[in-house]
Amino acid sequence: MGTLGQVLAAVLGLVTALVPVLVATDAFDAGGGSDKIIRVLPTQPPTQPTTQPTTAPTSPTSSSSEPVDGDIVLTVSDQLTEGALEERIDVVLEGSKVASLYASIDDPTVTQQVTATTPGNYDYVLDGRIAWLDDYGVRQEASASGHGSVYVDDGMRLDVYVQFESGGGMSLSLRSAKQS
């Protein structure tokens, strides 16, 4: 039997070797959502190759800031929860992280534009941290998460909602609303 460090190194090596294989074979996509490719604008490059004209060489682009023809454009939005100092929310659609939202007292409403390939229902996962001051003025933080399905179409706005649970915890949800 090896030391704890050797065991941890072996487990980490195994996970590192298996994750690319599982992702490449769509092992995480049992719902068949591989036709719903999500891209974050403007920093993430397109996930599908685009054809370039062959008349002149072009320099490669590091990212795509424009949607591809046929893509739908939507906005993900978060408004700071009443009484909170700040909240950080990561938004994942169909297994791809599409937005990281940070709302604070100084910037209480934040939005990020994303694109999707087709309208329809998308599975989502939300993970976040919310900070506030308690009755004694001491900063408190709590984690919140949520998952579900939301309908996505061109021009839609997806809003993050925080729900306070009866046991004192918090959960997150994503709801679609027409873009105003």
Let me know how long the chain is: 180
Give residue 167's pLDDT.
85
**Encoded tokens for 73:** 């454009």
What's the whole-number mean pLDDT along residues 68-95?
92
Task: Give the residue from 159, 149, 151, 161 showing the smallest Cα distance to 112.
Answer: 159
- Say whether pLDDT at 2 is over 70: no
What's the pTM value of the predicted model, to 2 decimals? 0.62
Q: Which sign does the torsion angle of CA 94, 96, 97, 99 carry?
A: negative
